[in-house]
Amino acid sequence: MGHDHDEHEKQDRDAGLAEAVAMRGRGDREEARERLVALAARYPEDAEIAYQTAWAHDVLGLETEAVPHYERALAGGGTGDGALDEDDRRGALLGLGSTYRCLGRYEDAVALLTGAVEEFPDDGSLRTFLAMALYNTGRHHESTSLLLRLVAATSEDPSVRQYRRAIDHYAGDLDAIG
């Protein structure tokens, strides 16, 4: 009976999550949020449900309510049923960092996003949000330097590409003369 019960529980979880995500996709965002809150209460250790619940609050502008769900999603382990895959982990890190920033929790945003950039060094969106949080903490030099390096590395604008090496060089020391 134990195995059948576990399998049935997993099917219920998967169906409930899929239904809530589909609701949000159809634009029924409040109904999706309510469904996800119920799922999160039923499966409190499930990082994937926590992430989807956080996101459901975020898109409704309910940043304060999103925070504990993001934090729970990121506290979960990295493997097994309900764990975040790499893309969802990136999304949760960006979502929580951005939410901290929106709530004026700038130091929390810098700390979280600094770790996220170390974990995902090729993710330009994480670096961009880190630069915004650095700006909010008064670390304007670091913020501008980070953005300049990102522009130099990723821009397809021909005039930027022409000066890529110079931009990257000056990003290292914006106060240099000559």
- Which pLDDT score, from 0 to 100, does residue 82 have? 66
What is the mean predicted confidence (pLDDT) over 74-89?
76
**Whether the predicted pLDDT of 81 surpasses 80:** no
Cα 112 to chain centroid distance, Å, stands at 10
Residue 77 has pLDDT above 80, yes or no: no
Q: What is the pTM of this model?
A: 0.87
109 pLDDT above the threshold of 80: yes
Q: What CATH topology corresponds to 93-178? A: 1.25.40
The CATH class of 1-84 is mainly alpha
Identify the DSSP state of 80: S
Q: Where in the chain is the domain with CATH 1.25.40.10?
A: 1-84, 93-178
Say if CB 85 and CB 55 are below 8 A apart.
no
Structure tokens at 80: 């097994």
- Answer yes or no: is pLDDT of 79 > 60: no
Contacts 24+ apart (CB under 8 A), 51-56: 51/84, 51/88, 51/91, 51/92, 51/95, 52/17, 52/20, 52/21, 54/92, 54/95, 54/96, 55/91, 55/95, 56/20, 56/24, 56/29, 56/32
CA dihedral 142, 112, 62, 22 (to 10 degrees): 110
C-alpha closest to that of 83 among 126, 37, 128, 51:
51
Tens-place pLDDT, residues 41-73: 999 889 999 999 999 999 899 999 999 999 999
Distances from the Cα of 134 to the Cα of 84, 94, 97, 142, 167, angstroms? 27, 15, 12, 7, 20
Give the model's pLDDT for residue 26.
Answer: 87
Confidence of residue 89 (pLDDT cuts 50, 70, 90): very high
Q: How long, in residues, is the chain?
A: 178
| Residue indicated by tokens 């979880």 | 13
CA distance 70 to 75: 9
- Residue 3 scores a pLDDT above 70: no
Confidence of residue 5 (pLDDT cuts 50, 70, 90): low
The predicted-structure confidence for 120-153, as pLDDT tens digits, reads as follows 999 999 999 999 999 999 999 999 999 999 999 9
Average pLDDT of the chain to the nearest whole number: 90
